[in-house]
Amino acid sequence: MPEFEAILFDFDGVLLDSEPVHYACWAEVLAPVGVTLEWEFFRQHGIGVEDREILRMMAARSDPPRKWEELWALYPAKKKLFQARMAQLPPFDPSLDGFLSELHGLYKLAVVSSSSITEIAPILAAGGIGRHFDTLVGGEDVKHHKPAPDPYLLAAQRLGVRAALVVEDSEAGMASGRAAGFEVLAVKGPADLRERVLGRCNLT
Ligand SMILES: [Mg+2]
């Protein structure tokens, strides 16, 4: 019997390296209102963090400080830009479909992300891999985001599982998985995902 009943994947930076695209889209919509978003700041503080929280940090550190709601008004523009960019890119590693298909025969699978389901679901569909997931948990589904345990607890509850393996690339995400009481497997990105997961699940 497998050690885990489910594998819960973070999205950005795990299934898809979309963080540089998120960054570029935010930087582009913030620039016209005089807010400069630097990659180094985003890389350190923005990866794996919910959009509202990123904007709260941006608003607090802008000079003079701004109301974060002012910046939040740019979210629809950022989202639209992100979707357009994602539709242009060949989004996923070609081996991902077969890999998820193999896993789905053995485990329940979920995507657990701080991004909105309305962003993630079309990308999964465009990549032809949406069918492998039993549930998607997005930023709009929980009150407390990563690093709180809520997103991973909700995924496990929806799947009806107690033992899950969480696959994450960010500190906030790993903390969330651990707080939910699950084992966390750290990956660097889509490039080492398959090898890391198959190794941990003794499927190599
Ligand atoms: Mg991530």
Q: If pLDDT is split at 50, 70 and 90, which confidence band does 51 have?
A: confident
Q: Please, are residues 109 and 84 in contact by the beta-carbon 8 Å criterion? A: no
Instruction: Spell out the CATH class of 6-16+92-200.
Output: alpha beta
- Amino acid (one-letter) located at 204: T
**Looking at residue 143, what is its pLDDT?**
96
What pTM value is reported for the model?
A: 0.81
- Ligand 1 mean position, distance from CA 64 (Å): 31
Using the mean position of ligand 1's atoms as its centre, give its distance from the Cα of residue 15 in Å.
9
CA of 68 to the centre of ligand 1 (A): 23
* Per-residue pLDDT at 1 exceeds 70: no
Residue 89 backbone phi and psi in degrees, to 5:
-80, 145
pLDDT over 70 (residue 202): yes
The percentage of residues in the chain with a pLDDT greater than 70, rounded to a whole number, is: 98
Residue 90, pLDDT > 70, answer: no
**H helix intervals, 17-149:** 19-30, 39-41, 51-61, 68-72, 75-88, 96-104, 117-126
Q: How many angstroms separate the alpha carbon of residue 168 from the centre of ligand 1?
A: 6
Burial class of 140 by CB neighbour count within 10 A (0 to 12, 13 to 18, 19+) = exposed
Q: CA distances (Å), 10 to each of 15, 105, 155, 196, in order? A: 7, 20, 11, 14
Does the pLDDT of residue 175 top 80, yes or no? yes
Q: Ligand 1 center to residue 63 CA distance, Å? A: 29
Instruction: Say which CATH architecture domain 19-88 belongs to.
Output: Orthogonal Bundle (1.10)
14 CA from centroid of ligand 1 (Å): 6
- Cβ(151)–Cβ(159) under 8 Å? no
Largest CA distance in the chain: 58
Residue 105 alpha carbon to ligand 1 centre in Å: 25
What rounded mean pLDDT belongs to the chain? 93
Neighbours of ion ligand 1 (CB under 5 A): 10, 12-13, 48, 169-170
* pLDDT class of 62 with cuts at 50, 70, 90: confident
Minimal CA–CA distance to 14: which of 86, 131, 85, 96? 96
- DSSP code of residue 12: B
Does residue 16 sit in helix, strand or coil? strand
pLDDT digits (tens, 9 = 90+) for 99-157: 999 999 999 999 999 999 998 998 898 888 999 999 999 999 999 999 999 999 999 99
Domain boundaries, the chain: 6-16+92-200, 19-88
**Is residue 97 over pLDDT 90?**
yes
